Structure 1
Amino acid sequence: MHEALTLIVVLLGSAVAAVVLFRRLGMPPILAYLLCGLAAGPFGFGWITDLEGIQHLAEFGIVFLLFTLGLEFSIPRLLTLRRVVFGAGPLQVILTGLAVFAVMRLLGFSSLTAGITGCALSLSSTAIVIRELIGRGAVNTGYGRSATGILLFQDLAAVLMLVLLPLFSQEGNDNLLGMTALTLGKSLLLFVGIFIAGKWILPRLLEETGRTRSDEVFVMTALLLALVAAWVTHWLGLSMALGAFLAGMMLGESHFRHQIEADLRPFRDLLLGLFFISVGMLVDPNLFASQWHWIFLAAVSIMLFKGLLIMMLLKLLGDRTEVGLRSGIILSQCGEFGFVLVALAVSHNVMTPGKAGLLVSITVLTMSVTPALIQNSGRLTRRLLRPWLSVPDDAPLSKDIQGHVILCGYGRVGQNLMRYLGNFHHQAIAVDLDLVRLQEASAAGEKILYGDASRKDILERAGIERARLLVVTFDNARLAERIIHTVRDINPDIRVLVRTRDETHLEGLIEAGAAEVVPEVLEASLMLVAHALMMLDVPFERVLATLRKTRRERYRMLRGYYHGDSFPTSDSAGNPYRLLHAVTLSGQARAIGLSIEECSLKDVEIREIKRGGQGEENPASDTRLQADDTLILYGPLEAVEAAETKLLGG
């Protein structure tokens, strides 16, 4: 008992530390679990020797993974992306699997091992790719939709692989075709049964449990549904994962979906972590050290092959070359379902742990570079396609044009600004580095130059000497500062308007020479304030005066807020983050009776004093503090903490 408890503590402790470290490095947490398994397994420190026992428990992680995958699986979405799902998806999986199978056979591996390897390497990582696309707001872009469509089919293919693998692993099975047909027939009957249950029985059951208003009962019911579906398929001689997936898919269309998903997520994440730890135990570091060159070659080869194949398939379906290539780069890695297939193959004794370790090493290597590839996929796509993309001729701006506007960046903000400038009969020219955007805008007859807006020669081609206004439309404060310095050297009189995300770089950009800086987060707050006040029948003149005053004071009232648990230690420029913090002077607080000036607070500003239900903003330095006053402090974290100590009794 003591040894088991020690083992659990060590595994959980190492997993927590590894996941935190990998998240800070921007790497997938799956790799952290694999590393923990490597350390705890027989090839590491040898903390765990009973691999079979832990693998049986870890299988439930796969059950819950497939159940939540079914919950998220949307048939309407599948039909929306059917061109990619049923066009590029099947061809990508089949052609990649066949290519890997052929290479493995040429290298002398058995047909079964080559087939499993081909299936495992043909799949990409849904967990990593979808998370990155959502985080970057790219799900509804052209490449985001293409990548999502292919991943949808890969998930379906993975379920089918998990169903058929135990069947192919049986030795001496002479009637393989008949057994396959029988298995697919059972799966179809199971689908019909679960569909009937999911349509008429399960919703009523969940409604009854919901009426109890007991979280415990609802969680237990959700757990029971996933496990019963897995048990039924196991009893029928099918994969437990299939039943879990079908049950999840049936419940995915109900209004209980989000609650079930939230309730099961802790169990899924914990058991999946255990599953990936068990997979990591298959990796032999000595084998990796002796075969690292082959592992590296295999990882690079599979990523290049998948990337180019996906690009060509999407190109055949009518997508633009850049969309196909970017989708290929994003989906070039191998995925977590490869680990599931490998673990299942080892448990059925159709693949040795040594071969499984090599396959896991290849998959880990491809997954480790995926976040960086996705982050730089746009830049990499442009660089790779640059020799084949023609830049439209952009002759220098006519000298007859005077007082025009130069837009640095022609994304969504730049294009919207160009339209409104045209409506008000102001001439404008844009500068952008996106060749595809350049070609489309030029074909539409819009004035746009290709180049880096921080370069002097590009700005001169845009007529910077004669321009009246320059607008930086993208959120990159460092590049904006470089542009301002270049502009000031050529035309000191031009006004510069800069867009930023928040107030972090506001003062620096003003000092560099920007006439106005528009922090979009603060402007969004101002717009909400304006709409709220007008909906409360505050006169428009007062609302407008408030907006003008706030902007004139450079958003002083809007800076700083109560961060809660997500407080960052520094801003994007590396400066200590500033926050708001409330301090109430109660009891024997030292500051009672003193003026603000006499308190001698360092690096901290008192934004407001709340007294008797009334607030006084920006109090004078000679204001005397009274008992029960609430002071709203603004400043860096350490300075605010020091000020609180001084006010209360320091």
Structure 2
Amino acid sequence: MMEHSLVFSFFLIFTGAAVLATIALYTRQPLLVAYIVLGALLGPYGYSFIQDTALLSEISHIGIIFLLFLLGLDMQPSHLVHMLKKATLVAIFSAIIFMAVGYVVGISFGYTTTEAVIIGVALMFSSTIIGIKLLPTTVLHHKHTGELVVGLLLLQDVIAILVLLFLNSGDNGSSQLASFLKTAVALPVIIVGAFIFVRFILLPLIQKFDRFHEYIFLVAIGWCLGLAELAQLAGLSAEIGAFIAGVTVATSPIAQYIATSLKPLRDFFLILFFFSIGASFNLGLLGQIIIPALLLALLVLVLKPVVFRFLLQSISEDNKLAWEVGFRLGQISEFSLLIAYMATSAALIGQEASHVIQATAILTFLFSTYVVIFNYPNPIAVSDKLRRD
């Protein structure tokens, strides 16, 4: 019965996505909008055709893992280290500013101090999925703009992981300290171990059997998911593990072949991810949370480009480039959704505060996508002039 239910769910999702995507393309709308709207329509708070959104959300998480793996394949380690050094202060100062904005709005609408802090924390991050999905892999990943976007997103991911560790470690102070120490030790060990494994085991195997394309495909998936799982066991996130897996293979000639072969698989799971965002949103709470969510979304959409432009110019970046990076990072993150879910589970915030964060995420995902696809080069642009794969 479970198998039939999953197959039927997939039928509804991908057939519905194909229909809405067709309408979206005819009406010059971004495809991400179609997937989120479909989720809201078919999910438990819409027409209830699909009930088990938790399962779909878990499956769709694989799409984020593949996205980070493919991103890592495009990043040369030397460029990455240079960019992380340069972007650190920008990431830290922007996080502090947006946390303060979220906190002030939360307190103004009568949420508790803890809820206001969590809302502020949720505003600190920009979406890795939106940011990277709207970067043309053949153009910007190898240019300064792409490196800045990726560097800032990775630094934000590290901050987000620390927040998630804190939420996940309970009330025991010694337990929190142990978790942080475990993570601090695990990260460099995994990075060094991964480079050694790739150099002495993985690449020799790939070179020996490179005639068998199916084998390379299997090894790439196994390496990506294996390191993702190892990172999660060590207290990091699966995304960070997948990214490390990609970076360790990036200097190999086989990297671009792997990247090309995995893109369809990544897109399959990302459709499920955006569907699950729409499906998990409780439309019944909309009346209570729409005003604070709209205000937060407006502040994020307006202030993030301005703040990033100011901070990037302060480290001698070009004005035009600084604006573009700001607009590409002008939303909150899938990590914000995860923080909202975990904080609700830990009884730190109520359902209303959680849905304020979720609604803000959906609104900023949608509107920032519109801004980018109509103004900057990206793979899903409606205009032929801006479309870059």
- Asked if TM exceeds 0.5, the reply is yes
Name stretches of at least 5 consecutive residues in structure 2 with no aligned partner: 377-383
Q: Which residue matches 1:169?
A: 168
Q: 1:376 to 1:22 in 2, by over 3 A?
A: closer
Candidates 15, 18, 43, aligned match of 2:17: 15
Per-residue CA distance 1:111-163 (angstroms, 9 max, x = gap)? 765555444433334555566564997889xxx84575144222232155236
Q: 1:62 to 1:115 in 2, by over 3 A?
A: farther
Contact 1:67/1:248, CA 8 A, preserved across alignment? yes
Tell me, yes or no, if structure 1 residue 66 matches structure 2 residue 63: no
Say which SS state the counterpart of residue 123 (structure 2) adopts.
helix
Q: Which residue matches 1:199?
A: 199
Offset at residue 216 of structure 1 (A):
2.2
Q: Which residue matches 2:77?
A: 75
Q: CA–CA distance in 2 between the matches of 1:134 and 1:118?
A: 31
Contact 1:34/1:281, CA 8 A, preserved across alignment? yes
Contact 2:60/2:273, CA 8 A, preserved across alignment? yes
Q: Which residue matches 2:264?
A: 266
Q: 1:313 to 1:184 in 2, by over 3 A?
A: same
Q: 1:244 to 1:326 in 2, by over 3 A?
A: closer
Tell me, yes or no, if structure 1 residue 122 matches structure 2 residue 121: no
Tell me, yes or no, if structure 1 residue 285 matches structure 2 residue 287: no
Q: CA–CA distance in 1 between the matches of 2:206 and 2:138?
A: 35
Tell me, yes or no, if structure 1 residue 91 matches structure 2 residue 93: yes
Q: 1:113 to 1:274 in 2, by over 3 A?
A: farther
Q: Which residue matches 1:54?
A: 56
Q: CA–CA distance in 1 between the matches of 2:74 and 2:345?
A: 28
Per-residue CA distance 1:182-220 (angstroms, 9 max, x = gap)? 22212222222212212322211222331xx22322222
Q: CA–CA distance in 2 between the matches of 1:133 and 1:366?
A: 17
Offset at residue 369 of structure 1 (A):
2.6
Q: Which residue matches 1:45?
A: 47
Q: 1:125 to 1:92 in 2, by over 3 A?
A: same
Greater fraction strand = 1
Q: CA–CA distance in 2 between the matches of 1:209 and 1:139?
A: 29
Greater fraction helix = 2
Q: Which residue matches 1:242?
A: 240
Show the 5 A alignment for 1:499-510.
none
Q: Which residue matches 1:157?
A: 156
Contact 1:105/1:114, CA 8 A, preserved across alignment? yes
Offset at residue 371 of structure 1 (A):
4.6
Q: CA–CA distance in 2 between the matches of 1:231 and 1:375?
A: 34
Q: CA–CA distance in 1 between the matches of 2:191 and 2:199?
A: 12
Offset at residue 322 of structure 1 (A):
5.6
Task: Give TM-score, length-normalised by structure 2.
Answer: 0.80
Q: Which residue matches 1:305?
A: 303
Say which SS state the counterpart of residue 122 (structure 1) adopts.
coil
Q: 1:271 to 1:364 in 2, by over 3 A?
A: same
Which letter does structure 2 place at the counterpart of 1:196? I
Q: CA–CA distance in 2 between the matches of 1:41 and 1:237?
A: 32
Which letter does structure 1 place at the counterpart of 2:68? L
Say which SS state the counterpart of residue 359 (structure 2) adopts.
helix
Contact 2:289/2:355, CA 8 A, preserved across alignment? no
Q: Which residue matches 2:364?
A: 366
Offset at residue 13 of structure 1 (A):
0.7
Q: CA–CA distance in 1 between the matches of 2:138 and 2:247?
A: 27
Q: 1:208 to 1:23 in 2, by over 3 A?
A: farther
How large is the RMSD of aligned CA atoms in angstroms? 3.6
Task: Give TM-score, length-normalised by structure 1.
Answer: 0.51
Offset at residue 300 of structure 1 (A):
0.9
Offset at residue 83 of structure 1 (A):
7.1
Which letter does structure 2 place at the counterpart of 1:13? T
Count of aligned residue pairs for this structure pair: 375
Q: Which residue matches 1:219?
A: 217
Q: CA–CA distance in 1 between the matches of 2:18 and 2:344?
A: 27
Q: 1:320 to 1:218 in 2, by over 3 A?
A: closer
Show the 5 A alignment for 1:224-235.
224-235=222-233
Show the 5 A alignment for 1:207-606.
207-210=207-210, 213-319=211-317, 324-325=322-323, 327-339=325-337, 341-342=339-340, 354-374=352-372
Which letter does structure 2 place at the counterpart of 1:331? L
